[in-house]
Amino acid sequence: MRECVVQPDTFTHSLIHAFTFHMTRTFTISQPGGGRIALDLAHELNDAQRAAVTCGEGPKLVIAGAGSGKTRTITYRVAFLIARGVPPSQILLATFTNKAAREMLSRVEALTGSDAGGLWGGTFHALGNRLLRQFAPKVGLQSNYSILDDEDQRDLVKLCVGEAGVKVEQKRFPAPALIQELISMAFNTDRALADVVEERAPHFALWIEELQRVGARYEAKKRAANAVDYDDLLRFWLKLLQEHDDLARQLSAQLRHLLVDEYQDTNILQARIIERLAEHNGRNLMVVGDDAQSIYKFRGANYDNILKFPERNPGTEIFKLEVNYRSTPEILEFTNASILQNQAQFRKTLTAQRPRGSLPVVLPVGDAYQEAAFVAERILQLRDEGLALAEMAVLYRAHAHSSILQAELIKRHIPYEVRSGVRFFEQAHVKDVVAHLKVLDNPFDEIAWRRLWMMLPRIGSATAAKLWERIARTPNPCAAALAPEVCAGLPPAAQPAFRRFQQDLRALRAAADDRDPAQVVAAVMDTAYPEYLRAKYDGAASRLEDIQQLAVFAKPYRTLNGLLSELVLLGELYGQEVTGAGSRDTEQLVLSSIHQAKGLEWKVVFVIRMSEGSFPSEAALREESGEEEERRIFYVATTRAKDELYITHPLMDFSLRGGGTLMLQPSRFLREIRFTLYEQGQLEWPASTPAWDDGRA
């Protein structure tokens, strides 16, 4: 393995010599067929970028630090190859999104002044489809195969569940979307389905035999229908290369230069595909990415793909892009100090091209309410100073961490967009829990009753309507729903779950009589609802954390009525803010999970909930190498900031179990950074949850 070693051919050597001593010259290169391409490598690229762009053949690894001009380097590399006489049809550029592919191809065309349409550019799945349409019969498909979209896949899995004869009356069987997710994860990580279930969804372990039957039927039905899903586009592409060596050699000869963007995000199959293609083209493979930004293990990304690339490809040249054009030196010094703690990485130090600014601010806050108040107040101050809301972002480790902040922003009429999912109080599982609270507060709420009943096995809309007719005319529908004869009137298959529902309802009524609203939310977690949530929705762990945050939100309220009224008013206030005419706010503040924020940047970034237990995630710490990935997530968060970085960590949290208060430590990722690299902030106002007359304490 060699680092930053460039061995150019005669042409490249003369080019480098020219711009070394005449830094203002533009080089015009004739293209076969008469075209001429002007690439101003001297002015448009720094030394490290030029070295990567103009390097010779063989395996290359470009470690592109945050804000270091990765896209520029890739597109100039493609343009340089075309300028050297390589036909676009002999270049493959694999990206992870269609948007990235369009942007890169557009830039290449702008640089070359010609149509790059012959270039093999696109996502892995799009490229796989392009090849399979030509060679489908070699892998047992017909060339006119259909591609199943997400909805098609769920429908087919649902059909397979029915045909597999799964009995779901006693224990909830996972929803089709969850089954498809598990099957896909097993494929993309090259693991057995049973192992994936044990790791990611152990509550479904009792169904493993049934899941395997469903999986087998799913594969058989796809083949019978001459249909493929997205994963199959990779599966059959790899099969084509592995089982037909002559074709693999032919494709490698045709695709002389292979480039892959965001290599740290590839899964094991994508790495096998691209490195198999490189076996017969002189290993002319350039992979570009940043190991420090590898944060998608939960999607199947394999960190070893980039970390061990030089081991799998002997003679790899490594180029490091360490000049950052985004952030101030103070922000980079802070982020460098954090990522330095990771052991498994390519060591690098980002250096800033921008003038010095202010130190990052680390601010302890009393609790999540005080945190939200600070963030909202500081955002208003910055807006008054002339900074647009769209130039600011609030980032968090988990979507649930935005709940209290969203409520605060609505009350202060600060428009915002959520990029990490649905707005907190509009999420289906949050509405599920709120429905429990509604029937306790207002037993005549038909919509809430119907929502609860239709969560139960063997109860549909018709049965729910009959149940409502049974209890609606009684003085107390909540008490009437507990009567044994109500259960006895249901179909036998529906009765076991309904009896459990009645038992849970009794417990919730007792909780509502004796406890505050936060404890009633906590009591919902002792019902059958968590079992329903795990079987119905994806991302069960994060959704359960959302319910924890709903309990935190409910903590200041004295009554269920006060809490529920506030939830309704929050929705009303948000609607007015978004649709109201004449608003002077034409842009919105961005709220985003860190994962969704990767690749983006803002002038001011707030990173919230940086307390031990919240960030790093406790679940991630139980996984192998989990702490290092969590630190990479923190690194991604902090490197989004251009001018100012604020990090807050609550000192107290509400306990869902027992109703007590937990004392919190700052995140280990803050404690390990030298205190001279940030400014310790402090708040002046005393209380975070003042008294109101609207049901709050």
Cα–Cα distance, 91 to 257 (Å, whole number): 5
Active-site residue, 262 included: yes
661 three-class SS: strand
DSSP H or E stretch at residue 92? strand 91-95
Tally of CA atoms within 13 A in the half-sphere of 638 that contains its CB: 32
Cβ atoms of 313 and 285 closer than 8 Å: yes
From the candidates 235, 378, 555, 640, give the one annotated as an active-site residue.
Answer: 640
Cβ atoms of 202 and 149 closer than 8 Å: no
List the structure tokens of 580.
């109201």
From the candidates 181, 210, 262, 371, give the one annotated as an active-site residue.
Answer: 262
Cα–Cα distance, 401 to 594 (Å, whole number): 12
Q: Which phi and psi (to 5°) does residue 283 adopt?
A: 50, 45
Q: Which phi and psi (to 5°) does residue 82 adopt?
A: -65, -40
From the candidates 232, 261, 546, 577, give the one annotated as an active-site residue.
Answer: 261
From the candidates 50, 60, 70, 320, give the one annotated as an active-site residue.
Answer: 70
- What are the CA-CA distances from residue 178 to residues 127, 161, 220, 424 (Å)? 27, 12, 19, 21
Active-site residue, 60 included: no
Q: Which phi and psi (to 5°) does residue 164 adopt?
A: -80, -5
List the structure tokens of 54.
């103009």
**CA angle (351, 352, 358) in 5-degree steps:** 120
Closest of 67, 68, 75 to residue 93, by C-alpha: 75
Q: Which long-range contacts (CB under 8 A, 24 or more apart) does 658-666 make?
A: 659/515, 659/516, 659/518, 659/519, 659/522, 664/611, 664/612, 664/613, 664/614, 665/611, 665/612, 666/362, 666/364, 666/610, 666/611, 666/612
Active-site residue, 293 included: yes
Residues facing 287 on adjacent strands: 61, 260
377 three-class SS: helix
From the candidates 293, 406, 519, 548, give the one annotated as an active-site residue.
Answer: 293
Q: In sequence order, which residues have a C-beta less than 8 Å from that of residue 407 and are 6 or more positions away?
A: 372, 425, 553, 566, 570
From the candidates 71, 212, 341, 689, give the one annotated as an active-site residue.
Answer: 71
Q: Which phi and psi (to 5°) does residue 34 adopt?
A: 105, -15
Q: In sequence order, which residues have a C-beta less than 8 Å from that of residue 202 and are 6 or more positions away?
A: none
Active-site residue, 351 included: no
**CA angle (143, 144, 150) in 5-degree steps:** 115
**Residues classed as catalytic:** 70-71, 261-262, 293, 640
